[in-house]
Amino acid sequence: MRYDFNQIEKKWQDYWAKNETFKASNTSDKPKYYVLDMFPYPSGAGLHVGHPLGYIASDIYARYKRHKGFNVLHPQGYDSFGLPAEQYAIQTGQHPAVTTEANIKTYRRQLDQIGFSFDWSREVRTSSPEYYKWTQWIFIQLFESWYCKVHNQAFPISELVKVFENEGNEIIDAACDDNVEVFTASDWNSFSSVQQQEILLQYRLTYLAETEVNWCPELGTVLANDEIVNGVSERGGYPVVRKKMTQWSMRISAYAERLLQGLDTIDWTDALKDIQKNWIGKSVGASVTFNVIQSESEESHKIDVFTTRPDTIYGVSFMTLAPEHELVSQITTEAQKAEVEAYIEKTAKRSERDRMADVKTISGVFTGAYAEHPFSKAPIPIWIGDYVLASYGTGAVMAVPCGDQRDYDFAKHFNIDIPNIFEAVDISEEAFASKDNVTIANSDFLNGMNYKKATKRAIYELEQIGQGEGKTNYRLRDAVFSRQRYWGEPFPVYYVNGMPQMIDKAHLPIVLPEVEKYLPTEEGEPPLGRADVWAWDTKNNKVVSNDLCHSEQSEESHNGVYPLELNTMPGWAGSSWYFFRYMEDAMRDETFASEDALKYWENVDLYIGGSEHATGHLLYSRFWVKFMKDRGFIGVDEPFKKLINQGMILGTSAIVYRISGTKTYVSKGLKENHKVEEIRVDVNIVNASDEIDVEKLKQWQPQFKDAEFILEEGNYIVGREVEKMSKRWFNVVNPDSICEQYGADSLRLYEMFLGPLEQYKPWNTAGITGVHGFLKKLWKLYVGQESLNVNDVEPTKDNLKTLHKTIKKVEEDIENFSFNTSVSTFMIAVNELTAQKCTSKKILEPLLVLISPYAPHIAEELWQKIRNESSISTAPFPKFDPSHLIESSKNYPISFNGKMRFTMELPMDMSKDDIEAAVMAHEKTIAQLDGRAPKKVIVVPGKIVNIVG
């Protein structure tokens, strides 16, 4: 009987689907275990062999946990809202829902053929209304909440309103906008409804505000900070400019400290935690208020700055404001006005990218105004400069040129005084920025103190005069939540008198309307501005035609019909909570996930996905989870207990060399004699020895059809280059063809065999014959020409030794996510058992369970053949018995000065002294020593003998 993998794999995939083998139950006596993959965006290109890497790893772990007696939840779904489908829709006019559906079909077929143990009954799609109903619902909850800094927790906004009604807002310490005005209870009660709503917006966890956003004109939408890479859009690489727009934002900054602290409670890699830590960017220091020295006609102004070095307060010799700072226009003197305005105009024109590209050029302008030093009362010139960012801190700095290199460079450039406030430090060449070994000088009450002491004292003194306090600052900004796109979740929001109103939960979902084109309107409104039926009828609670709504007229004539929000939600909305949706299987209509389901599954035990989501999805999810916990919707504080980033599988591109100006291609070994151009060709027509099939190449593209080829030894050898797998390099390998040619089990084993999971590694299809050959050997161990090789004979000592060392190693490997070494272990085990001619069921049965997570199809087939039972999927994992590994003797390596010279077989239970005696008596020892007396003999029983001298 032959190993017919195509037939076997199809058979078991059908079996698993039909019997719902991997359906998880929400009620079980078994302990739960939740294994999750980052769900894919279903792109039109389908999967290539790089994509399933993480899915295979998580599938092995999920299957292993089932063998270990866990009730495993291992679901899969689609992050199916997104830009590519929309771009495609713009080009072709096809509805994104249609192309998305088609892409999902392809993905499902490709995933199924690899034999994953997903519970598909719990599938989610972020773009389906039954799912985004709950995304909209969570948005409403955020809108209806505020964050109390005293309790460090989010509460319903209704509670805040009660406080306002009774006590005003002075006693409230909330995460809110900076410019909130203080009011009393009677003020509040006298405010109009619109005024009250405006104030509440400043407290809500999702709020509408005019903010400076990252506008990408090419994409026609705003982008969040994590969607911008090196000043251009992550998707497409288009320029990004600053623009003021009214947008929904998420007050994630309220959670900065908890997002930081929470990292200590989860099992993620340090690398990933560091990325999030840097992104949150906590810095501890002080806020200091400087009074602007006013001339008689002016009103008084104050400038707040944030500094991490309040100890250097006496080193301040100027201040710098960001050009966008609101005070600039008010404090600039008449004499400096023209120069300042010219500078502002110049910097505003520079894109973010230009500004980043050219950090070395120092530029700035004096405003003509002076601030007063809080202690010395000395006048301090106020400058503006674009090295100060409007978006960080207060957009203003107290410049201490002796202690900060940027301030130093600025001062040097503009000939500003650089007072030295450090004892015995030379600052003639550069600033002294260190916090260690500092002694403050020329600083009045701070003289002689070190950094720590001086910082404490400076803050204390500032507090005494009411011009500062200790403060912690975070780099993390609130996240823009509006996108001017079509293919995303609509907001459950309509507007009355310009104020946003939430639609009641009972009327969700608000379904994405039809539009005739997916582009912005001529007036520059988002695509939803093209929808004809996109107004909210508050009387009938449904979406109605825009004709019924007359926004220009008075409130009465609206007839209760109001315009709906035209923006849609960003890609990260749906992915910030989907892991809870999988938990629910039966009551998806009534709730995002039922209490019982949430209580049983808690959170994700193991999450596998790419590290590119470090500052996006992985941070936003943690934020939403903390919020939902605060509001009592869930019971956990973190979504993902353990997280592993799988590395990327790279392509191995194939290169042919065309002699310049000719149609002749020269083999790699002969190219040195010619001037050549490198041309990448399809990797799928190159064999393991880097020889290309010239005939196939001629058919592949017309440019090769009548080309000449200079061969070496009868073959054309290609060059190789490891780079990202991409269509443009022709190095994409499709899992479909691998499964067809070698089978899913081979694909699974090979992806794991390539190297450590976390590492980047190149794919080379040629190598798959190694693991494929292993599977054939495995098959032959169990199945002979005519009949099965498996019988009830008692296992030999060697058989047991092989089995148990394999159990030990594989179990350790899976627990450590070291799947590559397990595959080698299987190879060794099968090689040994084949050599031992092992036929014992007591060996071959447990071996199948070990292999089953990795190569489930062949394991199922052989299991059925030898046990006549259905599925291996929940067979108990074999138990390791160390007694089978105990050796009676050890082949000791005998070293001289650390170099191994020969080995010697000695009993395991021999004493140290006896070993030494035996080794010293050995003829080779005597020969090695050549008459010298050894200085020392180190004997480590069971390990090694080392003779020094």
- Contact between 401 and RNA (CB under 7 A)? no
User: DSSP class of residue 757?
Assistant: T
How does DSSP assign 276-325, residue by residue? HHHHH-EEEEEEEEEEEPPPTTSPP-EEEEEES-GGGGGG--EEEE-TT-
Q: Using CB under 7 A as the criterion, what x/- string covers residues 605-644 for binding RNA?
A: ------xx-xx-----------------------------
* Token pair of 539 as six digits: 């009387």
Write out the binding residues for RNA, residues 45-84 only, by CB under 7 A. Answer: none
Distance between CA atoms of 292 and 300, rounded to whole angstroms? 7
- Contact between 770 and RNA (CB under 7 A)? yes
Number of residues counted as binding RNA (CB under 7 A):
84
- Contact between 348 and RNA (CB under 7 A)? no
* Token pair of 191 as six digits: 């405010």
Among 773, 784, 876, 907, binds RNA (CB under 7 A): 773
- Contact between 406 and RNA (CB under 7 A)? yes
Which range of residues in 435-443, 480-488, 492-500, 763-771 is near RNA by CB under 7 A?
763-771
Q: Using CB under 7 A as the criterion, what x/- string covers residues 660-689 for binding RNA?
A: ----------------------------xx
In whole angstroms, the minimum distance from the beta carbon of 334 to RNA comes to 27
Among 33, 146, 279, 592, binds RNA (CB under 7 A): 279
Instruction: Decide whether 108 or 273 has the Cβ nearer to RNA.
Output: 273
Among 379, 784, 898, 907, binds RNA (CB under 7 A): 898
Q: Could you give phi then psi for residue 564, rounded to 5 degrees?
A: -90, 160
Query: Which amino acid makes up residue 492?
Result: P
Instruction: Decide whether 412 or 776 has the Cβ nearer to RNA.
Output: 776
In whole angstroms, the minimum distance from the beta carbon of 666 to RNA comes to 20
Distance between CA atoms of 933 and 949, rounded to whole angstroms? 7
Q: Using CB under 7 A as the criterion, what x/- string covers residues 361-400 for binding RNA?
A: x------------------------xxxx-xxx-x-xx--
Write out the binding residues for RNA, residues 462-481 only, by CB under 7 A. Answer: 473, 475
Distances in Å between the alpha carbon of 580 and those of 131, 564, 585, 598? 11, 29, 11, 7
Which range of residues in 57-65, 292-300, 417-425, 896-904 is near RNA by CB under 7 A?
896-904
- CB–CB of 857/9 below 8 Å? yes
Which range of residues in 58-66, 137-145, 304-312, 838-846 is near RNA by CB under 7 A?
304-312
Instruction: Decide whether 473 or 576 has the Cβ nearer to RNA.
Output: 473
* Token pair of 863 as six digits: 């299991």
Q: Using CB under 7 A as the criterion, what x/- string covers residues 241-270 for binding RNA?
A: -----------------------------x
How does DSSP assign 15-68, residue by residue? HHHHHTTT---SS-SSPEEEEEEPPPP--TT---TTTHHHHHHHHHHHHHHHHT
Q: What is the dihedral of CA 321, 327, 331, 335, to 10 degrees?
A: 70
Q: In what order do the strands lie in the sheet with 542-544?
A: 542-544, 535-537, 561-563
How does DSSP assign 199-221, residue by residue? HHHTTBSEEEEEEEEEEETTTTE
Instruction: Decide whether 204 or 890 has the Cβ nearer to RNA.
Output: 890
- Contact between 152 and RNA (CB under 7 A)? no
With 0-12 / 13-18 / 19 or more C-beta atoms within 10 angstroms meaning exposed / middle / buried, residue 154 is buried
Write out the binding residues for RNA, residues 812-841 only, by CB under 7 A. Answer: 818, 820-821, 823-824, 827-828, 831
- CB–CB of 479/224 below 8 Å? yes
Which range of residues in 32-40, 78-86, 209-217, 759-767 is near RNA by CB under 7 A?
759-767
- Contact between 275 and RNA (CB under 7 A)? yes
- Contact between 283 and RNA (CB under 7 A)? yes
- CB–CB of 687/696 below 8 Å? no
3-state secondary structure of 850: helix
- Contact between 404 and RNA (CB under 7 A)? yes
Write out the binding residues for RNA, residues 204-233 only, by CB under 7 A. Answer: 225-226, 229-230
Among 753, 817, 854, 877, binds RNA (CB under 7 A): 753
User: DSSP class of residue 409?
Assistant: H
- Contact between 306 and RNA (CB under 7 A)? yes
Query: Which amino acid makes up residue 491?
Result: F
Strand locations in 646-745 (E) = 649-659, 664-666, 676-681, 708-710, 719-723
Among 265, 428, 785, 891, binds RNA (CB under 7 A): 891
Distance between CA atoms of 733 and 43, rounded to whole angstroms? 16
